[in-house]
Amino acid sequence: DVKVTQSSRYLVKRTGEKVFLECVQDMDHENMFWYRQDPGLGLRLIYFSYDVKMKEKGDIPEGYSVSREKKERFSLILESASTNQTSMYLCASRYLAGGYNEQFFGPGTRLTVL
């Protein structure tokens, strides 16, 4: 079974703090994604990565950056957290040659910025 893990289930940070969200997948998937999920807005793509050291902006990259130094790990960084970044953050990975566009999701990190 594909397993995508995220470093924290719940996180509380203060405005202005630098926040790191870590995601690890164990199936050698090339593509990895970061989404945020908000009521009424659904899943919105923040950043994605084709492969190691490659990254592309998604639909809402402002206020975020990412790092992918190893294939299995994709980090989301909030340089200076703000209250409007309070959300559920979901990481996903995808096997490029699988024939499907299926993305496998982690359990999510619920981030609260005070």
Partner 1 sequence: QKEVEQDPGPLSVPEGAIVSLNCTYSNSAFQYFMWYRQYSRKGPELLMYTYSSGNKEDGRFTAQVDKSSKYISLFIRDSQPSDSATYLCAMSERNTGFQKLVFGTGTRLLVSP
CA nearest to 21, candidates 106, 95, 96, 98: 106
The smaller minimum CB distance to partner 1, of residues 19 and 33, is found at: 33
CA nearest to 59, candidates 73, 74, 80, 41: 41
Nearest approach, Cβ of residue 81 and partner 1 (Å): 22
Phi, psi of 107 (to 5 degrees): -75, -15
Nearest approach, Cβ of residue 55 and partner 1 (Å): 12
Identify the three-state secondary structure at position 17: coil
Query: Which of residues 48, 68, 75, 81 is near partner 1 by CB under 8 A?
Result: 48
Residue list 65-104, contact with partner 1 (CB under 8 A): 90, 92, 99-104
Nearest approach, Cβ of residue 80 and partner 1 (Å): 27
Compute the distance between CA of residue 34 and CA of residue 42 in angstroms, rounded to an integer.
13
Query: Which of residues 19, 47, 68, 108 is near partner 1 by CB under 8 A?
Result: 108
Q: Give me the residues paired with residue 84 across strands.
A: none
Is residue 45 within the footprint of partner 1 (CB under 8 A)?
A: yes
